[in-house]
Amino acid sequence: MLDETTRRGFVGGTAAAAIGLALPRHLGAATASRAPQVSPEARLRELGIELPSTPRPVATYVPAVTVGNVLYVAGHTPRLPDTSPGFQGKVGADFTVDDGRAAARQVGLNVLATIRGHLGSLDRVSRLIRTFGMVNCAPDFGQQPQVINGFSDFIVEIFGEEAGKGTRAAVGMSSLPSGMAVEIETYWEIRT
């Protein structure tokens, strides 16, 4: 049997540290903020990439919501900087896989514009947590992961390997809003 001092030390020390490592930060665990591998803002400047203006919602929703240290970014499409719908059609019928990748990269630009507009700077992002990629595609099309790689590869290019890769799903859809080829929703860990 442990005496009171030993029990308090175990509960407040080793066990709490183990639990703290297992619990996500937004559930109250005290973890150190991770510094980004690279400054995303500096990386955009280095690559000469200009983000479009923040996309406006086209229905009843907000583009981003912060809960604790998680930023939830609504589904974004490949709207072009002039706000016209980009890439309308089905991958595997109207578009090639490479066209789909280009559409997914455009979604990445729009997502980053929303994040910057919401947070003030991409440098507040600690890491990508999850990507949910939807591809408007022909019924027999099966290369959704290769299409969504257009988004994922772009995010890694901006945030680096560790901070730019998260969990991911890439699925096919029979249609998407305005007939666009791709829609992507993301979750991000941020520094508060």
Query: How do residues 78-107 score in pLDDT, each as one tens digit?
Result: 999 888 888 999 999 999 999 999 999 999
Strand partners, 70: 67, 189
**Residue range(s) defining the domain that contains residue 44:** 40-190
The pLDDT of residue 37 is 59
Structural domain total, the chain: 2
The pLDDT of residue 15 is 35
The pLDDT of residue 186 is 98
Looking at the predicted structure, is the pLDDT value of residue 29 above 60? Answer: no
Please indicate, yes or no, whether residues 75 and 135 belong to a single structural domain of this protein.
yes
d(C-alpha 156, C-alpha 164), whole Å: 4
**Residue 74 — pLDDT band, cuts 50, 70, 90?**
very high
Please indicate, yes or no, whether residues 11 and 71 belong to a single structural domain of this protein.
no
The pLDDT of residue 56 is 85
Mean pLDDT of 40-66: 95
For residues 88 and 105, the answer to whether their CB atoms sit within 8 Å is no
Please indicate, yes or no, whether residues 47 and 138 belong to a single structural domain of this protein.
yes
The pLDDT of residue 4 is 44
Please indicate, yes or no, whether residues 23 and 48 belong to a single structural domain of this protein.
no
Please indicate, yes or no, whether residues 16 and 76 belong to a single structural domain of this protein.
no
Higher pLDDT, 30 or 66: 66
The pLDDT of residue 103 is 98
The pLDDT of residue 90 is 98
Looking at the predicted structure, is the pLDDT value of residue 42 above 70? Answer: yes
Predicted confidence (pLDDT) per residue in 111-154, tens digit: 999 999 999 999 999 999 999 999 999 999 999 999 999 999 99
What's the chain's average pLDDT?
Answer: 85
Please indicate, yes or no, whether residues 49 and 16 belong to a single structural domain of this protein.
no
* DSSP codes of every residue in the chain: ---HHHHHHHHHTHHHHHHHHHS-GGGT---PPPPPSS-HHHHHHHHTPPPPPPPPPSSSS-SEEEETTEEEEEEE----TTSPPPSBS-BTTTB-HHHHHHHHHHHHHHHHHHHHHHHS-GGGEEEEEEEEEEEEB-TT---HHHHHHHHHHHHHHHH-HHHH--EEEEEEES--GGGBSEEEEEEEEE--
For residues 69, 188, 38, 28, the Cα torsion angle rounded to the nearest 10 degrees is 30
The pLDDT of residue 30 is 35
The pLDDT of residue 83 is 83
Mean pLDDT of 52-80: 95
- pTM assigned to the model: 0.81
